[in-house]
Structure 1
Amino acid sequence: MPSAATPRFSVIVPVHGVEGYIRECLESLLAQDYTDFEIIAVDDRSPDGSGAILDELAARDPRVRPVHRAENGGIGAARNTGIAEARGDYLLFLDGDDSVRPGSLRAVADRLAETGDPEILLFDHVRTYADGTVEASNSAPRLAEIRDRVVRPADHLGLLRLFAVVWNRAYRRDFFTSGGLDGRGFSFTDGLYEDALMVYTTMAAAERLAVLEQVVVEYRQRRRGSSMRSSAPRKHFVIFDQYQAVFDYLEGRPGFDDYRTVVFERMISHFLYTLARPFRIPRTHRRAYLHRAGQVYRKNEPRGFTPPPGVVGLKFKVLRTGSYAAFASLKLANGTRETAFRALGDSKRWGGRKALKTYYAVQRRLPVDENLAVYSAYWGRTPSCNPLAVHEAARELAPHLRGVWVVNPSHAASLPPGTTRIAPATFGYWKAMARAKYLVNNVNFPDSVVKRPGQVHLQTHHGTPLKRMGLDQQRFPAVARSMDFDKLMERVDRWDWSVSANPHSTEHWERVYPAPFTSLDTGYPRNDVYQRATAEDVRRIRAALGIAPGRKALLYAPTVRDHQKDAFVPRLDLARFARELGPDHVLLVRAHYFYGADPELDALAGRGALVDVSRHPSVEELCLAADALITDYSSIMFDYANLDRPIVTYADDWEMYRTCRGVTFDLLSGEPGDTPGVIATTEDELIEAFRSGAWEGGAAAALRRAFRERFCVWDDGHAAERVVRRVFLGEEGTNPPFVPLAERTPAPTPAEAAEPAGAEPVAK
């Protein structure tokens, strides 16, 4: 642990909009075998749950020191805040979506000791991509040139060609805060491209620099969400001010002519790199950008500067003029970048049109129907889950909307009265998909669906992620072999809104589905019923299921195994378990919907040993009917916890499951917040849990309370209303406000709902 006064390292992490990544970032530090450091995590008034994650980690480990800024100031201001709080000998900077490789801090500490505490230590990094690709940097040859020496950076100009960021180096704090050529120290400026200014000025000021030829940082190349993908192109114009400040700093410094020349070449290359990316500088802003770039070029051009040879040098010369007309007329040997982008877009559009029906293509040219919403659940099954709850709320709160459901013919017979159905691959289906304003689903629509401008895609999801989802699945062959992750990301890119049940879900959806959707932190609409159902509802549902008054109903609902999808294979002897429970209990068995009918279940149900509820249309009703839930790794546990009734985890293959599928936390740890109640890993332990009464004892209730505090904070009975008001009615903010857990009254338990003695029984 770090000393109270002076830890070796202060790791400064600016935090803004990185809810899906910040936990992994900080845990990569906390897991280091070298422990003499502090983390100054600066919450730059992040609009998501990042700040709460910082506080959670700080409560577990005193090395995490969260600082919550009252106003958002940008990454430079956040880093300056962290520097002011730092106590370490050295400053390390790490972005909130990046991570540090194991053993890195010890390697950095050892190298600093070997080289006599230089002012700057450079180290290597890799770039990681959403598809799992890891790309080495081009730093290794430059670092190898220095190797075991301690040098003056200005005498080794090749070091200026390393990636100009502050997170691939360690700074001695006294140098950073009071050193430099003018003795006033360094601070970060506002706006983008602040790293370039810091890197080139500190390298000019330092007298002693060493290198570590080891990868320390894993730099995450995000698909979406980078600060460089700014919606305000003029923000990128700050690049001119940042570089001008570098040359102002170098002005008049003797012996820095060659240094200035290298920085100048790096600057112009950076200008061109930024210009070539339309998501930074769109066509409408290029004229002004080129004008400013030409001014900065001419003002700072070193005497006798010679542009690089070839096409790159030609770009330099044209940029120097600042002329948009000259740049627009520049034809490169392989075509302009703009032409390449345009051709790529055209190829995607035409490829999609060939795959779509002509009728669908025609319908997409007609006006969007502002009052039409298409709903679907579980790949065209019966209306259910979050989409159904949203639909029912929309009928009340947004009656101007017409809702239609995509339902496969095999499920058409079970439709609720009054449901408007469209079947997939019909004229009505393609017309609705082309014209509807709103597309609502708890899974993804087919790849053939094109979300046109003006349409709104609401992704409701259908569970809380215990198992790994999205891009995380790439690391697990049992599921990755059947998944096209490029296609998955194309589907995710259609989302506008992503409904979240709890902070845990939001954190994971943001990371494993990296796309520009907005998270709806509302709770799950399907769980509203758990706060609204009455005693009469509970009695009615139990009577319809044939559960006699006074019998305890146990719902057994295991999840699917990715390595065992062909048929339902019970993880326990259902006949024995039902027999051991005795006549006062009834076992409700719900196989996962991926499985078809099971002969063994049919036979056991026929003998009265259990009730097969696998095809029951409403899992919410089954939960309301049950006195307790028995499950393994199914997300039903998170929903059922809203009822505050006992949950028993039967996990006989935990090691196999988390190895094959991956998990987001240790369900079997027994720690508050991880485990919802009693754990059984064998059939005998499961039976004993019910014989002994442990399933509903005080210890189980305490675990359930902590589990609910972690996963049920938003499920207060108003989730569907929040979704409808935000998405369909455009109302801002959380409406209505969340009801605290302590103030909620879940649906009554079956015992609480029982008819008093002598009352008229409920008719079946």
Structure 2
Amino acid sequence: SLPPPPPLPPHGDFLRLARAHYLRHRVPGPRGGLRHTLVRHGLHRTFRALRLAAAVRRRAGRAAVKLARALRGRALRLHYRVQLRLPLRADRAVFTAAFGRGDPGALEEAFRTYAPHVRTAWIGHPEQQQAVPPGPRRLRPGSAACWTALARSKYLVHDTVLDRGLRKRRGQVVVQTRRGTPLKHMGLDLQERPAAARDTDFGELLREVDRWDHVLSGNRHSTLTWERVLPGRYTTLEHGAPRNDVLQRATTADVTRLRESLGIPEGAVAILYAPTFRDHHRTQRPALDLERILRRLGPRFVVLARPHPAHGGSLGSGGRIIDVGGHPDVASLCLASDALLTDYSSIMFDYANLDRPIVVHTADLEAYEAVRGTYFDLRACPPGAVARTEDELIDIFATGHWRGSRSAQLRAAFRERFCPYDDGRAAERVVRRVVLGETELPPVIPLAERKPVPSACARSPLATVPQPSAPAPVTESH
């Protein structure tokens, strides 16, 4: 090992030594700045005084910033208390979402369509502006305008956790949309899953639930789960998921436009790869070698790589891997793709509404169930073909089983169970019920009568994709 470095000389000795080096090597003073000039001329006391003054300025600056923040916080709290004493505005609604637009975005659009007398606002950070719907007024979190809207708007619609300082007023209506059909354990069930719960304050969670008036649900499974793991006095609105309305309304022209905007080559089979977050991994490393998969499948396939929003980063890009991690609208990615490849992500419940192939990769299912827990056996009732390994996954796509008759049968059963109300009018039903007070709501279109737009691959005359020889097909479900 290397010997330890010699100790630094005292400050005065250091400055004298530095001055000697300046003179010996004829270092020009003015070009070195004020401090170098002071050292060159031996003005050590002045040098130390300037250093002390700079340190005092830095400390004073930090203290001033801290004081300014504290004063601003107090001023905002006072402003909020004043706003709480002013009349509630029945014609105001505030929306916010954790990732992208989600259900709050779809409901904001429905508010403007079916309740145009209500003025809408959207709370979001500046870096999230690309995900904000184009219609509502934009509010920055923590601003005076934001606290005014939260204090005086009748309707608060969100899929996240509201600010702890928020006080729900008499007459306010809070709509919690949630963020998908639950496969993994949620709410109070996480008390038995410390790795997944982390630092969750369950008391604070229940106090948050007490502020909800309505919780949206897309199916009976979600209703029973939310009411058990998030118990409260709210009313469950089992009307479907508003975020999925666009999947029923989209047209062939929309699909073509979206594929062109993403750079998907004409005639290619686009696989949307959207894995979920793993609580037991310190780093969210990719579970699949996408480049190897694409080499085996041939040039007709491309992958839209979409990491979980909590993951961030990228699952890869370049060549036939298109990084769509920063895309603000996951519904657009679903429409642009020909098939979904996922593991345990709730995106499978939304994607099933398109009636397009879904392939599930379950290599670490046992570990995932042990850490997070699941509400049903995904391998027993999957939305399509199931692969336990990467090689099985390649075989499923190479042999065509990803869109075979068995996969279609599994998907049909899955849709019947989890997509009963997603007919394109979910947001309308919610607005008519919550805002307009209607009890006679638009009837749900039966699954058999829904006609979601087909994928570009399904419409192509080259729908039967020639593939290289592959091993024997694997079993699609277990």
Aligned partner of 1:668 in structure 2 is 379
Aligned partner of 1:627 in structure 2 is 338
- Map Cα deviations across residues 244-290 of structure 1 (whole Å, 9 max, x no partner): xxxxxxxxxxxxxxxxxxxxxxxxxxxxxxxxxxxxxxxxxxxxxxx
CA-CA distance at 1:394 after TM superposition = 1.2
Aligned partner of 1:617 in structure 2 is 328
CA-CA distance at 1:449 after TM superposition = 1.3
Aligned partner of 1:511 in structure 2 is 228
> 2:456 matched to 1:750?
yes
User: Out of 76, 83, 86, which is 1:366 matched to?
Assistant: 86
- Map Cα deviations across residues 359-386 of structure 1 (whole Å, 9 max, x no partner): 11111111101111000001xx54x111
Mapped partners of 2:130, 2:220: distance in 1: 38
> 2:170 matched to 1:453?
yes
Specify the SS of the correspondent of 2:317: helix
Mapped partners of 1:361, 1:485: distance in 2: 27
Mapped partners of 1:678, 1:524: distance in 2: 25
Which has more radius of gyration? 1
Counterpart residue identity of residue 572, structure 1: L
Mapped partners of 1:429, 1:409: distance in 2: 13
The 8 Å contact of residues 535 and 753 in structure 1, kept in 2 or not, is answered as no
The verdict on how the C-alpha distance between 1:397 and 1:418 changes in structure 2, with shifts beyond 3 A counting, is: closer
CA-CA distance at 1:414 after TM superposition = 5.4
Q: After superposition, where does 1:14-25 map in structure 2 within 5 Å?
A: none
The 8 Å contact of residues 301 and 320 in structure 2, kept in 1 or not, is answered as no
The 8 Å contact of residues 96 and 158 in structure 2, kept in 1 or not, is answered as yes
> 2:175 matched to 1:463?
no
Aligned partner of 2:189 in structure 1 is 472
The 8 Å contact of residues 278 and 284 in structure 2, kept in 1 or not, is answered as no
User: Out of 542, 556, 561, which is 2:278 matched to?
Assistant: 561
Aligned partner of 1:221 in structure 2 is none
Aligned partner of 2:364 in structure 1 is 653
Mapped partners of 2:407, 2:141: distance in 1: 46
Aligned partner of 1:596 in structure 2 is 312
- Map Cα deviations across residues 435-484 of structure 1 (whole Å, 9 max, x no partner): 01000001221222111111000011110000011111111111223210
Matched length: 390
Mapped partners of 1:632, 1:509: distance in 2: 22
TM-score (norm 1): 0.50
The verdict on how the C-alpha distance between 1:414 and 1:524 changes in structure 2, with shifts beyond 3 A counting, is: closer
User: Out of 77, 97, 107, which is 1:357 matched to?
Assistant: 77
- Map Cα deviations across residues 488-533 of structure 1 (whole Å, 9 max, x no partner): 0000111000100111000101111110100101000011111111
Mapped partners of 1:543, 1:557: distance in 2: 20
Counterpart residue identity of residue 94, structure 2: V
The verdict on how the C-alpha distance between 1:393 and 1:413 changes in structure 2, with shifts beyond 3 A counting, is: closer
The 8 Å contact of residues 131 and 329 in structure 2, kept in 1 or not, is answered as no
Aligned partner of 2:67 in structure 1 is none
The 8 Å contact of residues 549 and 754 in structure 1, kept in 2 or not, is answered as no
- Map Cα deviations across residues 728-754 of structure 1 (whole Å, 9 max, x no partner): 111114x10111111111122213555
Aligned partner of 2:116 in structure 1 is 399
Counterpart residue identity of residue 91, structure 2: N
Mapped partners of 1:456, 1:555: distance in 2: 37
Counterpart residue identity of residue 374, structure 2: V
The 8 Å contact of residues 627 and 645 in structure 1, kept in 2 or not, is answered as yes
Counterpart residue identity of residue 343, structure 2: D
> 2:447 matched to 1:741?
yes
The 8 Å contact of residues 218 and 421 in structure 2, kept in 1 or not, is answered as yes
Aligned partner of 2:290 in structure 1 is 574
> 2:258 matched to 1:547?
no
Aligned partner of 1:65 in structure 2 is none
CA-CA distance at 1:395 after TM superposition = 0.8
CA-CA distance at 1:579 after TM superposition = 1.6
The 8 Å contact of residues 422 and 428 in structure 1, kept in 2 or not, is answered as yes
Counterpart residue identity of residue 749, structure 1: S
Q: After superposition, where does 1:681-720 map in structure 2 within 5 Å?
A: 681-720=388-427
Q: After superposition, where does 1:517-528 map in structure 2 within 5 Å?
A: 517-528=234-245
User: Out of 303, 306, 324, which is 1:587 matched to?
Assistant: 303
Specify the SS of the correspondent of 1:473: helix
Specify the SS of the correspondent of 1:421: strand
Aligned partner of 2:317 in structure 1 is 605
The 8 Å contact of residues 557 and 589 in structure 1, kept in 2 or not, is answered as yes
- Map Cα deviations across residues 151-207 of structure 1 (whole Å, 9 max, x no partner): xxxxxxxxxxxxxxxxxxxxxxxxxxxxxxxxxxxxxxxxxxxxxxxxxxxxxxxxx
The 8 Å contact of residues 535 and 752 in structure 1, kept in 2 or not, is answered as no
Specify the SS of the correspondent of 2:325: coil
CA-CA distance at 1:609 after TM superposition = 3.4
The verdict on how the C-alpha distance between 1:355 and 1:678 changes in structure 2, with shifts beyond 3 A counting, is: farther
- Map Cα deviations across residues 290-320 of structure 1 (whole Å, 9 max, x no partner): xxxxxxxxxxxxxxxxxxxxxxxxxxxxxxx
The verdict on how the C-alpha distance between 1:690 and 1:619 changes in structure 2, with shifts beyond 3 A counting, is: same
CA-CA distance at 1:691 after TM superposition = 1.1
Q: Percent identity?
A: 53
The verdict on how the C-alpha distance between 1:500 and 1:429 changes in structure 2, with shifts beyond 3 A counting, is: same
Q: Mean Cα displacement is larger for which, 649-658 or 477-486?
A: 477-486
Specify the SS of the correspondent of 1:605: coil
- Map Cα deviations across residues 127-167 of structure 1 (whole Å, 9 max, x no partner): xxxxxxxxxxxxxxxxxxxxxxxxxxxxxxxxxxxxxxxxx
> 2:207 matched to 1:500?
no
Mapped partners of 1:645, 1:412: distance in 2: 31
Counterpart residue identity of residue 121, structure 2: V
Mapped partners of 1:597, 1:693: distance in 2: 31
Mapped partners of 1:409, 1:534: distance in 2: 31
Aligned partner of 1:89 in structure 2 is none
CA-CA distance at 1:629 after TM superposition = 0.4
Aligned partner of 2:97 in structure 1 is 377
Higher relative contact order, chain-length normalized (CA < 8 Å, sep 6+): 2
Q: After superposition, where does 1:172-187 map in structure 2 within 5 Å?
A: none
Aligned partner of 1:13 in structure 2 is none
- Map Cα deviations across residues 106-139 of structure 1 (whole Å, 9 max, x no partner): xxxxxxxxxxxxxxxxxxxxxxxxxxxxxxxxxx
CA-CA distance at 1:597 after TM superposition = 2.3
CA-CA distance at 1:595 after TM superposition = 2.0
Mapped partners of 1:738, 1:544: distance in 2: 33
The verdict on how the C-alpha distance between 1:609 and 1:399 changes in structure 2, with shifts beyond 3 A counting, is: same
**CA RMSD, aligned part only?**
1.9
Mapped partners of 1:592, 1:503: distance in 2: 25
The 8 Å contact of residues 538 and 753 in structure 1, kept in 2 or not, is answered as no
Aligned partner of 2:68 in structure 1 is none
The verdict on how the C-alpha distance between 1:755 and 1:427 changes in structure 2, with shifts beyond 3 A counting, is: farther
The 8 Å contact of residues 154 and 173 in structure 2, kept in 1 or not, is answered as yes
Counterpart residue identity of residue 445, structure 2: V
> 2:438 matched to 1:731?
yes
CA-CA distance at 1:416 after TM superposition = 4.6
The verdict on how the C-alpha distance between 1:650 and 1:416 changes in structure 2, with shifts beyond 3 A counting, is: same
